[in-house]
Amino acid sequence: MQAVTVPACSKDQTHIWADVLAQAVTGELIGALNYTTLAELYEDAAEKAEALEHAQGERGHAASFTEAGRALGIEVVINLEAQYWKRIRSIFLSRAQAGDLIGCILAQEVMLESFAVASYSVVAEAAPGELGATFARIAGEEGEHVAHAIELLQAERARDPGAFDAKVHQMHEEIMTALAEMIARDDPGGHCGLCQGSCVKHSLPDAGISLSEIRGVSLQRYLRTLDEIGVPGESSLVWVAQLPV
Amino acid sequence: MPQVDFALIGHPESWNRAAAVISVLRGADRPPVAEQHVREIIPWIPSRTASRVTVGSSQGFQVRGAYIDSFIPPDRLHSRFLRENLARVRAAAACAIKEGARIVTLGGFSSILLEGKADLLPSHAETAFTTGNTLTVALIVKGIERAVALAGRDLGESNVLIVGASGDVGSGCARCLAPRVKRLFLSARNPDRLKGFASELPTLRSPVMADTDLKKLSGMADVVICAASTPAPELVFDALPLSSIVCDAGYPKNVSPDFVPREGAIFYGGLGQASGGIQLDPDLLGVIYPYSVGNVAHGCFLEGVALAMEKRFEPFSQGRGLITPQRVEDIWQIAQKHGIGLPPLFNGAGSVEEGMRCLGRGVPQ
């Protein structure tokens, strides 16, 4: 077994990484639940199997983050009831209960995965040693999910562009609004339920993480994904402009 | 594939203007976004269609187009961001091709970045790219003619200074005005390029004078055309004689907002007006052009529109040094045919036409 290098980390920084990892692990576990739900919505056996595989992958990511945290002496907090993640899961479940497969794919594979890939990439550059490598590796793996969804969504859009774009807008207003509030400068809904003390967002620069870069990279990746699917640029621009800041 | 007649590639002129655009897109029911937040977000937005454009011809028909924003951040209009900005312009050009545009205008810094190297753009057999600079030159020259006439002066007795004279627009203005003015002064940052160009130009009475010393030249001019590639409005002309006329045709604007010509007048040049109307959806026209004069747009944009109206899908303006008086006259005739012409002279404070007349009557401004 390869030895894990544990870089020096100040107490304050350990506190920051603990909160960052709590977000990442909880997000991955919500992703695992969403993929499990998606598997139930798919009729195609191969798609079902793939969704279950993705769910397993998300659990694996959560385990990797947890292990990387332990190497830094961090016991990662998991809270599936944390307000933003609970809200996202609730939106996802309501679409699943309505049998809205496309809405669920948009939520998980376009919006949440775009956010994960982008935010992990930014964090990977700042995170010390093995933790940084873990974020970078998982960002790469999450990116593969997005690629898979794009083809399916392009075909769906080709059938009825107007209805498809309306659905994207609806999911955007729900999921992207929750994500935008989560990474806004301040928490409009109070404590997120994951940070161990006060909100970690104000301390992120101490660990070399820029929240505005996370916001920017996430939006860029999301807009590019929508462009690839075929959503008109002027529509997605308006949607993004209307997000909470 | 969508099909539009034309596409206009642009970028925000200033942070203030970018914030105004984002506020319009957010809608009146949401709180406006602080400029600081806009500064954080704009650099991440990929090039994209920002607005649908419809322009009416005076011949009784409309052309449809797309305004594509490359979202080059206003504080990155420097050569050190060349590679990043070129990538943005290329991505915007790819959007224009995806839109099915037959003619695409490279507005503002987009054409300056390319320096006429159209081969840096993605190619498509059905899409032609034009810098739009020939109509910009036409509108600047017509604006100068009008300003001088309103002031009751003779263009042939005017001493004209062109700032940014080695650029495509500046050199085009110089070719048009050199035979028509008393003295022509040329200013640019590159002295070798400037002197080589100056020696080619004929004038009526005295040789063209070229110098990088803007203060020295402005002390001898009574008309100034600003067509420099400055990333911010920073020019001041303290040495300018009384009652001078300044035409700011830069994008972004060249002249510092704090500068007021002593007993003179300043107007925005290179802008045209479409009598058949310009509509944008979302309606960004009022924030891109927050002026008292309606249906105005930059000459470069309107060149693409005029060519689309004329169904001349060709790279009319191709790069530095190719704008001649004949080409200027050709595009002016096309524009006029479709009701695109010179608006009443104005600046950010409103119309300056009465002010120009006052210059002629010797009334202090």
CATH of the domain at B183: 3.40.50.720
User: What does the mean pLDDT of chain A come to?
Assistant: 90
Residues B205 and B354 in one domain: yes
Q: What are the chain A neighbours of B10 within 8 Å (beta carbons)?
A: none
Per-residue H/E/C for B179-246: CCCCEEEEECCCHHHHHHHHCCCCCCCCCCEECCCHHHHHCCCCEEEECCCCCCCCECCCCCCCCCEE
Chain B positions touching A219 (Cβ under 8 A) are 41, 44-45
B7-11, B100-104, B260-264, B317-321: the lowest-pLDDT one: B317-321
Residues 6+ apart with CB under 8 A from A164: A102, A153, A156, A157
DSSP annotation of B157 reads G
Report whether pLDDT(B114) > 80.
Answer: no
Residues B163 and B130 grouped into a single domain: no
Same domain, yes or no: B206 and B353:
yes
B1 domain-assigned? no
Q: For chains A and B, count residue pairs whose Cβ atoms are closer than 8 Å.
A: 52
When scoring B48, B67, B68, B281 by the number of chain A Cβ atoms within 10 A, the one with the most, hence best to mutate, is B48
Partner-chain contact A219 B45, CB within 8 Å = yes
Nearest CA in chain B to A225: B46
Domain membership flag for residue B217: yes
At B291-304, the pLDDT tens digits run: 999 999 999 999 99
Q: Is A75 helix (H, G, I), strand (E, B) or coil?
A: coil
Q: Is residue A4 in a domain?
A: no
Q: Which domain holds residue A140?
A: 11-241
Considering the entire predicted model, what is its pTM? 0.90
Q: Could you give the number of structural domains in chain A?
A: 1
Let me know if residue B187 belongs to a domain: yes
Note whether residue B169 is domain-resident: yes
- Reported residue count of chain A is 245
Question: Minimal Cα distance from B91: which residue of A?
Answer: A224
B91 touches chain A (CB under 8 A): no
Asked if B45 and A212 come within 8 Å (Cβ–Cβ), the reply is: no
Over residues A71-129, the pLDDT tens digits come to 999 888 888 888 899 999 999 999 999 999 999 999 999 999 999 999 999 999 999 88
CATH number, position A68: 1.20.1260.10
In 3D, which of B322, B355, B308 has the Cα closest to residue B56? B308
**Contact yes or no for B46 and A220 at CB 8 A:** yes
A82 touches A194 (CB < 8 A): yes
Q: What is the rounded distance in angstroms from the CA atom of residue B231 to the CA atom of residue B125?
A: 33
Same domain, B141 and B264: yes
Contact B95 A233 (CB under 8 A): yes
- Are A234 and B52 inside 8 Å of each other by CB? yes
Contacts of A217 in chain B (CB under 8 A): 44
| Helix spans in chain A (H) | 11-41, 45-71, 83-97, 101-105, 113-126, 129-159, 161-171, 177-182, 211-229, 233-241
Handedness of CA B166, B170, B173, B178 (dihedral sign): negative
Residue of B21, B23, B39, B41 to mutate when probing chain A, most A C-beta within 10 A = B41
Q: Give domain status of residue A6, yes or no.
A: no
| Total tally of structural domains belonging to chain B | 2
Residue B175 pLDDT > 80: yes
Contact: A238, B45; criterion CB under 8 Å: no
- Give A245's pLDDT tier (boundaries 50, 70, 90): confident
Could B40 and A216 be called an inter-chain contact, meaning their C-beta atoms sit closer than 8 Å?
yes
Instruction: Return the amino acid letter for B14.
Output: S
Cis check for the bond before B252: say yes or no (omega within 30 of 0).
yes
Confidence class of residue A12 from pLDDT cuts 50, 70 and 90? low
Q: How far is CA A51 from the centre of its chain?
A: 16
Q: Is residue A5 part of a domain?
A: no
- Based on the fold, state whether residues B232 and B281 are members of the same structural domain: no
**Residue in A212, A217, A234 closest to B50 by CB:** A234
pLDDT of residue B124: 82
In chain A, residues with a C-beta closer than 8 Å to the C-beta of B93 are none
| Set of chain B residues whose Cβ sits within 8 Å of the Cβ of A232 | 49
Are residues B247 and B165 part of one domain? yes
* Token reading at A173: 């207003």
In a domain, A2, yes or no: no
Whole domain around residue B213: which residue ranges? Answer: 137-270+344-361
- In this structure, the answer to whether residues B169 and B245 fall within a common structural domain is yes
Is residue B78 situated within a structural domain? yes
**Chain A residues near residue B34 by CB distance under 8 angstroms:** 245
As a whole number of angstroms, the distance between CA A195 and CA B240 comes to: 62
Classify the complex by whether its ipTM is higher than 0.90, answering yes or no.
Answer: no
Distance (Å, rounded) from C-alpha B238 to C-alpha B246? 12
Q: Is B56 a domain residue?
A: yes
Rounded Cα gap, residues B135 and B169, in angstroms = 9
